[in-house]
Structure 1
Amino acid sequence: MTDTYELSVTRLINAPLATVWAIATERMAEWWCPRPWTTEIVAQEWYAGGRSAMVMRGPAGEKHAAEGVFLEVVPLQHFITTDAFAAGWVPQTPFMTGRWEFAEENGQTRYTARAQHWTQEARDQHEAMGFTEGWSKCAEQLAEIAEREATA
């Protein structure tokens, strides 16, 4: 797969890599979807093949369940998930593979979130759903928490 069907956001977070990683992986409910939406973590099994499941809820009663698996977790570097499978490698209709990357950059952390899609149509649909605004807001929320923790 090339980046042809990829969407991404990046942000430099003024906090150490270990702090950003810990918040990103241990406190997902606090930053995962743009406020005023909330995230209920159902399962986050941080290993290849582990279940990744959550329910995102909107202020008007909207509900979006996300079910998938982790493909790879490399602490302090990245985690990769896909919705092409449910837990136990049960195939399901795929929409995307997500890759969240973390890199040390002069005492700060470069956060990059990528959504890779199987088709141009899926990429365009995700973009029309507000990918850039939504995923940028999530990066902002992660940065707010990490930067607050780093100065505490």
Structure 2
Amino acid sequence: MTYELAIERLMDAPVGAVWRAFADHLGECWCPRPWRAEIVAQELRPGGRSAMVMHGPDGEKMPQEGVYLEVVPDRRVVFTDAFASGWVPQGPFMVGFLELTPEGERTRYRAGARHWTAEACDQHKAMGFEAGWGAVAAQCEEVARRLAESGT
């Protein structure tokens, strides 16, 4: 059984701009405001390192470390916190994914997390998965629209 939480949005930006928002501007997108993400490493390739520190408004720091499992530019990213760089096992919480599907000049954005246990899935849901990942999607769309409008 897959213990999955997911959100889906139709974004008013082309898929290339949404991809660039994730690939090149992750620090602007990843944490629901007023939190912010400091990107330490973003090696967008299978086996590449993903590391960041999320900073809260009251000085909180939440480091995250993982690896990318699959990267298909403009379409899909799969990542996990089950490993640190170099395939070093660590306490797993989830396998995350981002899927982008072009729909004309818009993008179907689907993002989510799969968990090893029902308890971990319930914990993630209770942490505010839907609101948090929904805020991330909205911030990603803001950046993607800005990129599309500027032509970059």
Structure 1 segments unaligned to the other structure (5+ residues): none
Find the counterpart in structure 2 of residue 12 from structure 1.
10
Counterpart code for 1:21 = W
Q: Secondary structure at 1:34's aligned position in 2?
A: coil
Find the counterpart in structure 1 of residue 20 from structure 2.
22
Q: Aligned partners of 1:151 and 1:41: how far apart in 2?
A: 25
Find the counterpart in structure 1 of residue 80 from structure 2.
82
Q: Aligned partners of 2:87 and 2:143: how far apart in 1?
A: 34
Q: Aligned partners of 2:137 and 2:52: how far apart in 1?
A: 18
User: How far did 1:148 drift?
Assistant: 2.7
Q: Aligned partners of 1:21 and 1:149: how far apart in 2?
A: 10
With normalisation by structure 1, the TM-score equals: 0.95
Matched positions, count:
150
1:17-72 deviations in Å (ceiling 9; x for gaps): 11110111111000101011010000011111110000001001111100000001
How does 1:1-150 map onto structure 2 within 5 Å?
Answer: 2-3=1-2, 5-150=3-148
Q: Aligned partners of 1:151 and 1:19: how far apart in 2?
A: 9
Q: Please give the root-mean-square deviation of Cα atoms over the aligned residues, in Å.
A: 0.9
Structure 1 runs (4+) greater than 2 angstroms displaced = 148-152
Q: Aligned partners of 2:32 and 2:26: how far apart in 1?
A: 12
**Contact conserved, 2:14 with 2:104, CA < 8 A, in 1?**
no
Structure 2 segments unaligned to the other structure (5+ residues): none
Q: Aligned partners of 1:40 and 1:103: how far apart in 2?
A: 27
Q: Aligned partners of 1:7 and 1:145: how far apart in 2?
A: 24
Counterpart code for 1:140 = A
With normalisation by structure 2, the TM-score equals: 0.95
Q: Aligned partners of 1:112 and 1:126: how far apart in 2?
A: 17
Aligned-pair identity (%): 56
**Contact conserved, 2:93 with 2:120, CA < 8 A, in 1?**
yes
Counterpart code for 1:119 = T
1:65-121 deviations in Å (ceiling 9; x for gaps): 000000010111111100000000000110000001111012201111110000000
